[in-house]
Chain A
């Protein structure tokens, strides 16, 4: 190891360029290209399509005006917003105490298992999960069978193909999702906050109300927003569980493609749906930033 000065590697001649400029672009271009080609371009195509007439293909705003003038189309948007709001509120209200119990009441060594069990049905396929609720809620399904045999109802209740069924299916999925996010949030809270609050004389209830709840609120908002976005864009659950008794926006979109091959109208409806989500995001984003500061 001695004699270091004249050992080692031969030096190249001077002037060898250092950062190979093309390399970073070669790394990021495939991903950027993919996104431009298969995400941005389709979106532009959809925008263009929404401005063309289904018959003939000339420029028109009819697809948009149809949405704003036809009350049945309006109705689908209102339904979507109502269902999404109901689902979001119920899911948060159900999931928060559940996540709190998992994080605070379950012994540490069982928490991982308890959490894995709580999200186990995630691992069935999404389509199958909705179908399973159909089994539960059907005219001759488990619930109706139980109710009639207990003599609580004389006639089986109409549970499937209702808004109730759609909401139930959604709440099932989002309770699991929100339990995960809220649990992570609660576990991230440093125990010293709680100790400090207790040390300063706050009881468990006040500690929860004044310390734990406000500190987990931003996490809840993120989870609630995620619920909103995923819920309002979902086609499977309302189609399987709600049936066609009342239409939600995604069903309306799919209907234009399926029945009539009306891509322009479907495109216009998709863009309107996306606009609603964007508005919700902008409204939420400001609120979230204030919370975080």
Chain B
């Protein structure tokens, strides 16, 4: 099967005057775990609603398994959605909730119950069959919603910020479970979140969205290490951003003038081009024994202890508007008010041309 499972082709959407999706195209492979990552208002939830059939796009087409589903209602699509508030039917037992989709397909009660039990077993809630949703904890409800959506064996499972209502610890635990369940059932999952840690932990394929557009997509390792745009460099993890202009180009090397001095990088841009250089916090070196590229000195403005490391914010002495974000070992003695040399290596600089 070479065709993608889901093919979103040039989709745009407007709510009244406001354009929330701008010519978005995206392909989803069978069996993959795709995460749509973006801030609120980036259009990720609208895109999910279009996939689920709850919103008709203003322009563009959606193909699922090669068929045009653009205006097919939710009930007739091979997709199911796990809603942010779980949307469990409060008047039905957990078993009846999970069996609902099968009931709508006309499956007899005995088979329904057996399949619902099986699905509840899959999410580790076999014992909750006869309970009512209000007797369950938030994490348990989340799992029931997952079982309810999976039991009718959709081609694509859509998850709308499924972990948003859970506390941090439970969220990390549910992440691992979601990933395990997805691998076991093999269904393609499309998951919307604004939490970049969640995205990195879950995704096979990470799609960074901003302002109605896809900024970057690919394996999370690649998106993190080599973000395609400044937005994804700052939204998927933090970065220090150096604004600059290309001043010289010679034999595959460019010289970029930045507030922290001139920096030589491999590249083929024309002189005068505006660029941004991004450096991940773990790649900035503080102190004298540094990397090959010196970025001047900086005055430490804040040190936040985060357990396994210290997050250090420092303002450049060359240009106080330039803010360095660095990561120091937990044992480092760096303090607010210290002045320290900042440097990095050329390989760790991400060249952004947007």
Give me the interface of A with B, judged by CB distance under 8 Å.
1-5, 7-9, 11-12, 14-19
CB under 8 Å from chain A, chain B span 137-160: 150-155
| A11, B71: Cα distance in complex, Å | 12
- Output the least CB separation between B107 and chain A (Å): 12
Q: Are B78 and A14 in contact (CB under 8 A)?
A: no
Is B76 an interface residue when CB atoms closer than 8 A count as contact? yes
Question: Which of B62-70, B222-230, B263-271, B284-292 interfaces with chain A?
Answer: B62-70
Task: List 15 A-B residue pairs with CB atoms under 8 Å apart, sorted by A's residue number.
Answer: A1-B150, A1-B153, A2-B185, A3-B186, A5-B188, A8-B152, A8-B154, A11-B72, A11-B77, A12-B76, A14-B69, A15-B71, A18-B56, A18-B72, A19-B56
Can you name the residue of chain A whose Cβ is closest to the Cβ of B153?
A7
B153 lies within 8 A of A11 (CB)? no
- Choose from A1, A11, A14, A18 the contact partner of B65 (Cβ within 8 Å): A11
CB distance from A245 to the nearest CB of B (A): 57
Interface string of B24-60 (1 = CB under 8 A from A): 0000001100000000000000000000010010000
A5 to B31, CA, bound (A): 8
A5 and B5 form a contact (CB under 8 A): yes
Name which residue of chain A comes closest to B79, CB basis.
A8
The answer to the question of B122 belonging to the interface, with a C-beta cut-off of 8 Å to chain A, is: yes
Q: Which residues on B sit within 8 Å (CB–CB) of A7?
A: 153, 155
Q: When chains A and B are docked, how far (Å) is the Cα of A63 from the Cα of B101?
A: 66
Q: Contact string, B59-95, partner A, CB cutoff 8 A, digits 1/0?
A: 0000011011111110011100000000000000000
Q: Is the CB of B71 within 8 A of A14?
A: yes
Would you give the 0/1 interface string for B91-119, flagging 1 where the beta carbon is closer than 8 Å to chain A? 00000000000000100000000000011
Provide the bound-state CA to CA distance between A14 and B77, in Å: 11
Pairwise interchain contact A1-B119, C-beta atoms closer than 8 A = yes
Cβ B78 vs Cβ A12 within 8 A? no
Contacts of A18 in B (CB 8 A): 53, 56, 71-73
- The B interface is mostly helix, strand or loop, or mixed, namely loop
The interface residues of chain A lying within 8 Å CB-to-CB of B76 are: 9, 11-12, 16
Q: Does B187 contact A (CB under 8 A)?
A: yes
Give the shortest distance, in Å, between A1 (CB) and chain B (any CB).
5
- 13 additional A-B residue pairs with CB within 8 Å, beyond A2-B184, A14-B68: A1-B118, A1-B151, A1-B187, A2-B185, A5-B65, A5-B155, A7-B153, A8-B154, A11-B67, A11-B69, A11-B78, A14-B71, A16-B76
The answer to whether A2 touches B69, judged by C-beta atoms less than 8 angstroms apart, is no
CB distance from A90 to the nearest CB of B (A): 45
CA separation between A156 and B11, bound complex, in Å? 88
Minimum Cβ distance to chain B for residue A16 (Å): 5
Among the interface residues A2, A4, A8, A11, which one has the most CB atoms of the partner chain B within 10 A? A4
Bound-complex Cα distance A17 to B65 (A): 20
Query: Known: A2-B186, A4-B154, A5-B155. Contact between A14 and B72, CB under 8 A?
Result: yes
Contact A14 B67 (CB under 8 A): yes
Contact of B122 among A1, A3, A11, A15 (CB under 8 A): A1
Contact A12 to B72, CB < 8 A, known contacts A2-B185, A5-B30: yes
**Which chain B residues lie closer than 8 Å to A3 at the CB level?**
153, 186
For B61, the closest partner residue in chain A by CB is A14
CB-contact partner of A4 in B73, B105, B155, under 8 A: B155
**In the complex, what distance in Å separates the CA atom of A34 from the CA atom of B1?**
58
Task: Give Cα A1–Cα B72 distance, bound, in whole angstroms.
Answer: 24
Chain B hits for A14, CB < 8 A: 67-72
**Residues of the B chain whose Cβ atoms lie less than 8 Å from the Cβ of A9:** 76, 78, 105, 152
Which B residues lie within 8 Å of A5 (CB)? 1, 5, 30-31, 65, 155, 186, 188
**Chain A residues whose CB sits within 8 angstroms of the CB of B118 once the complex forms:** 1
The 4 closest A-B pairs by CB, nearest first: A14-B68, A4-B187, A7-B153, A11-B67
Contact of B153 among A8, A15, A17 (CB under 8 A): A8
A19 CB contacts on chain B under 8 angstroms: 56
Residues of A contacting B31 in the complex (Cβ-Cβ under 8 angstroms)? 5
- Contact at A16–B72, with CB atoms within 8 Å? yes
Q: Nearest chain-A residue to B157 (Cβ)?
A: A4
Chain B neighbourhood of A15, CB < 8 A? 68, 71
Q: Which residues of A contact B65 (CB under 8 A)?
A: 5, 11
B206 CB to closest chain A CB (Å) equals 22
Chain A residues with CB under 8 Å of B105's CB are 9
Q: Quick check: A8 and B56 within 8 Å, CB to CB? A: no
Separation of A16 and B67 alpha carbons in the complex (Å): 12
**Residues of the B chain whose Cβ atoms lie less than 8 Å from the Cβ of A4:** 153-155, 185-188
Shortest distance between the CB of B306 and any CB in chain A (Å) = 34
A19 CB, min distance to chain B CBs, angstroms:
8
B33 CB to closest chain A CB (Å) equals 13
Minimum distance in angstroms from B187 CB to a CB of chain A: 4
Q: Which chain B residues border A11 with CB–CB below 8 Å?
A: 64-65, 67, 69, 72, 76-78
> CB distance B185 to A8 under 8 Å?
no
B30 contacts which chain A residues (CB < 8 A)?
A: 5
Give the CA-CA distance A236 to B71 in the complex, in Å.
59
Q: How far is the CB of B82 from chain A (nearest CB, A)?
A: 15
Residue of B nearest to A15 (CB): B71
Q: B101: nearest residue on chain A (CB-CB)?
A: A9
Smallest CB gap from A4: residue in B: B187
Within 8 A of A (CB), among B1-19: 1, 5
Interface centre among A3, A9, A14, A15 (most CB of B within 10 A): A9
- Which residues in A have their C-beta under 8 angstroms from that of B64? 11
Least CB distance from A17 to B in Å reads: 6
